[in-house]
Amino acid sequence: MTRVLEVKDLEGGYGSVQILHGIDMHVDEGEFVTVIGPNGCGKSTLIKTIFGIATYYSGDIEYRDRDVSGWRTDQLVNHGIAYVPQVNNVFPSLSVEENLQMGGNTLDTRTLNERIERALEMFPDLRNRVHDLAASLSGGERQMLAISRALISNPTFLLLDEPTAALSPLYQQQIIDRIDSLREQGITVLIVEQNARLSLSRSDRGYIMASGKIVHTGDASHILTDPEIGEYFLGGTSH
């Protein structure tokens, strides 16, 4: 199996504020992996450090057998990684179409239009809204736009930060379904989530993070059914 991402003993944070204290994790080709953990434990920081946004201190970040630690975001994007941030992930004062165009500003017009068309096939709800301002979209539609924009760079590895947070159950389900179908199209998926049951239910494996460290890992199905984990990390047992 091809390893897409291998993180070893990763330390990182923001300037001199260390948040990650030796993270070990990996994601294999075609996998759907979810990292869960409580508020403030460093989930976003992990994904941001991998994507070259937070400060990398030490440790290994290998992407498809290349050492990419310290790489710039645009280099990572050119090598097939895309990232959907937790907040402020669309430009509200631009239209849906303009947001999508921003996702591929180095592409020629024809390729850009093809990619936009493909993203709209994935998220048909956005098709009727292409000329509307992103500010007018519902939370679920915004998330669809943010994911669509990430797809414009044609990624093979997608990093998503809490894609279902603050959405209605119906939108949560829709978003996770779409992410799952991206995986079926060959995109490897890494999600960090605080409300993790739904994401874990589609995942192959999961990691549990607390205070900047990985404290547990295993098959997603085991994590979902472990009563102790349910109690502490998944908001009680499932119904």
Chain contacts with Mg ion (rule: CB under 5 A): 43-44, 86
* Minimum CB distance to ligand ATP, residue 207 (Å): 12
Instruction: Give the integer Cα–Cα distance in Å for 158 and 154.
Output: 10
Our CB check for ligand ATP shows the closer of 43 and 149 to be: 43
DSSP 95: B
Residues 126/174, Cβ–Cβ less than 8 Å:
no
Given ligand ATP, Mg ion, none, residue 41, with its beta carbon under 5 to 8 Å by kind, binds ligand ATP
Residues 133/92, Cβ–Cβ less than 8 Å:
yes
* Minimum CB distance to Mg ion, residue 116 (Å): 28
Chain contacts with ligand ATP (rule: CB under 6 A): 14, 17, 19, 37, 39-45, 86, 194
* Minimum CB distance to Mg ion, residue 21 (Å): 17
Our CB check for Mg ion shows the closer of 1 and 87 to be: 87
* Minimum CB distance to ligand ATP, residue 232 (Å): 15
Our CB check for ligand ATP shows the closer of 17 and 170 to be: 17
Cβ-based neighbour number of residue 31 at 10 Å: 18
Token pair for 117:
């068309």
Instruction: Give the integer Cα–Cα distance in Å for 151 and 160.
Output: 12
Our CB check for ligand ATP shows the closer of 19 and 150 to be: 19
Residues 207/33, Cβ–Cβ less than 8 Å:
yes
